[in-house]
Structure 1
Amino acid sequence: MSTGAIVMMTAAILIVWGGLVAAILRLRSHPPE
């Protein structure tokens, strides 16, 4: 695996998990009625 591929894969994972965490925090701070 090249360095570029590892960097891109890591960035994609961080974006996905970052989005999940942000969504969970948003739902917890503003629970749906």
Structure 2
Amino acid sequence: MRTAYHERLDAMVAQLGTMTRLVASAMSRANNA
């Protein structure tokens, strides 16, 4: 139970990091345009 929770948490954190990078690159691209 505990490991499954941690695995899901790790996946969510990784997904959040990916989304943050996408948003950051999109914002910098918008600023350059």
TM-score in terms of structure 2 length: 0.72
* Cα RMSD, aligned residues only: 1.7
Aligned structure 1 segments of 4 or more residues deviating by more than 2 angstroms: 30-33
Task: Considering fraction of residues, name the structure with more helix.
Answer: 2
What are structure 2's unaligned runs of at least 5 residues? none
- Counterpart of 1:24 in structure 2 is 23
Percent identity reads 12
TM-score, normalised via structure 1 length: 0.72
Paired residue total: 32
> Structure 1: which 5+ residue stretches go unaligned?
none
Q: For residues 1-33 of structure 1, what are the alpha-carbon distances to aligned partners after superposition, in whole Å with 9 as ceiling and x for unaligned?
A: x11001000000111111011100011112385
